[in-house]
Amino acid sequence: MENLDWASLGFNYTKTDWNVRCSFRDGKWGELEFSDSEYIPMHISAACLHYGLELFEGLKAFRGADGKVRLFRAEENAKRMQASARKLCLPVPSIELFVEACEEVVRRNERFIPPYGTGASFYLRPLLIGSNAVLGVRPATEATLIVFGTPVGAYFKEGIKPISVLLDREFDRAAPRGTGEVKVGGNYASSIYSGERAHKAGFSNVLYVDAAERKYIEECGAANFFGIKDGCYVTPKSGSILPSITNKSLRQLAEHLGLKVEERAVPIEELSTFEEAGACGTAAVISPIGKIVDMQTGDIYNFGNEVGEWSMKMYNALQDIQYGRAEDVFGWTREVVL
């Protein structure tokens, strides 16, 4: 793409050439449809608009050092979309349908896939919405799967830098036995108020605690949390945490690099014992956390202004696989033949 300034791209929507849609009607999925429109025709009483019957995914394609384009763990996103769809009683797309739709979006927008070396990547946003007209609350009988993509810039433009996070005991992102473990828009709706409050106070993100007891760390905004101490990668386990594919990958990498891995309840007080802390997700891979401030008690946990050694190692190891610089020993990537 001649006139796109790859270096100045942020995490914003840029129009691309094609998106893919697939409708579920009369009990079955139809054919993939390709559209160059950014709009969808929608009924004013569609279930997604009124009752939040909406879920989504986020994954990336990377142009590698060898020029090949690779999708990162798309089957994992497909499985997670299936889990989200089951939870919202929406029709469940097959893994093949999901992956094919993603590959088509990559292929048909090839000129928007950032060149290697710019730090930019191609972000894919699959979403599934209940689309039939309803008035009463009940499962949607019709649904639309949409996949679009957009080039996004390097997350850290001036190098990977630790962030400040506000620990908020006042608001919850997700309830126990609610929908916290699936990727639904409703969870984001409940996080926007506390997120804005943190931003206004000068923090990058909110660290949520468990809604039932307010004793354990849950998630860092829309990213999973991890801490490192005594040669061990520790990440919270809870029924209301979204299972991050980045976190899953980091756990495997951590083990590979010689760390122990613990997935368990992490009490708030344990924060003071970590040597490194971070938030992880597709957008940034790892956002190292430099400081956590407990909004209600005033406690401050400092992890330093430099990226920790293990965080840096894991960050590099994961990006090396994504950009095809290292052998994909875990089988995480799939080449999209253009």
Shortest Å, Cβ 249 to ligand PLP: 8
For residue 292, give the 3-state DSSP assignment: strand
| Residue 14 structure tokens | 């840029």
**Radius of gyration (Cα) for the chain, nearest Å?**
20
Does residue 204 interact with ligand PLP by CB under 6 A?
Answer: no
In the bound state with ligand PLP, the residue whose beta carbon lies nearer, of 18 and 156, is 156
Does residue 121 interact with ligand PLP by CB under 6 A?
Answer: no
In the bound state with ligand PLP, the residue whose beta carbon lies nearer, of 46 and 223, is 223
Q: How many CA atoms within 13 Å lie on the side-chain side of 192? A: 5
Q: Catalytic site residues?
A: 183
Among 19, 150, 179, 244, binds ligand PLP (CB under 6 A): 244
The whole-angstrom separation of Cα 35 and Cα 39 is 9
| Cβ-contact 166, 206 below 8 angstroms | yes
Does residue 194 interact with ligand PLP by CB under 6 A?
Answer: no
Does residue 172 interact with ligand PLP by CB under 6 A?
Answer: no
Does residue 254 interact with ligand PLP by CB under 6 A?
Answer: no
Among 85, 245, 253, 321, binds ligand PLP (CB under 6 A): 245
The string of DSSP letters for 210-240 reads -TTTS-BEEEETTEEEEEEETTEEEEE--TT
Does residue 179 interact with ligand PLP by CB under 6 A?
Answer: no
Does residue 132 interact with ligand PLP by CB under 6 A?
Answer: no
Q: 297, 231, 310: which is closest to 268 by C-alpha?
A: 297
Does residue 219 interact with ligand PLP by CB under 6 A?
Answer: yes
In the bound state with ligand PLP, the residue whose beta carbon lies nearer, of 222 and 336, is 222
Q: Indicate the pairing of strand 276-281 with strand 285-294.
A: antiparallel
Among 242, 254, 277, 292, binds ligand PLP (CB under 6 A): 242
CB count in 10 Å sphere of residue 118? 16
Does residue 60 interact with ligand PLP by CB under 6 A?
Answer: no
Binding piece for ligand PLP, criterion CB under 6 A, among 18-26, 114-122, 217-225, 230-238: 217-225
The whole-angstrom separation of Cα 9 and Cα 249 is 26
Binding piece for ligand PLP, criterion CB under 6 A, among 109-117, 134-142, 216-224, 296-304: 216-224
The whole-angstrom separation of Cα 233 and Cα 311 is 10
- What residues make contact with ligand PLP under the rule CB under 6 A? 58, 183, 187, 219, 222-224, 242, 244-247, 281-282
